[in-house]
Amino acid sequence: DAGITQSPRYKITETGRQVTLMCHQTWSHSYMFWYRQDLGHGLRLIYYSAAADITDKGEVPDGYVVSRSKTENFPLTLESATRSQTSVYFCASTEYEQYFGPGTRLTVT
């Protein structure tokens, strides 16, 4: 099915562990984005990518790492998870308007 998918949908991890959130899109859109959504903050941009091997920081990049070796994939890694990174994470891709994945709810204990 065409679209944008995220995995896992739910994740619980411990402080200090590394965790990777996956994002895959089937449209071959050039631009892809990672947001986090928290109460009182709305959507905040973490990182974005203009194409394979081209990434750039957004509003809240600290503690996150991204890569984009293939156009269709844009994984987000928390190298050493902290409780403040408990959030819902959304991946998006854009042709003109943004298309969002279903989100990953991450809890860091």
Partner 1 sequence: AQSVTQLGSHVSVSEGALVLLRCNYSSSVPPYLFWYVQYPNQGLQLLLKYTTGATLVKGINGFEAEFKKSETSFHLTKPSAHMSDAAEYFCAVRFGSSSASKIIFGSGTRLSIRP
3-state secondary structure of 18: coil
**Separation of first and last alpha carbons in the chain:** 34
Smallest gap from Cβ 16 to partner 1, in A, equals 28
Q: What does the binding site for partner 1 look like in residue numbers (CB under 8 A)?
A: 29-31, 40-43, 50, 90, 92, 94-103, 105
Rounded alpha-carbon distances, angstroms, from residue 87 to 20, 51, 81: 14, 26, 11
Smallest gap from Cβ 80 to partner 1, in A, equals 27
Smallest gap from Cβ 65 to partner 1, in A, equals 22
Place of tokens 């891709």: 93
Instruction: Give the nearer residue to partner 1 in terms of CB position, either 16 or 102.
Output: 102
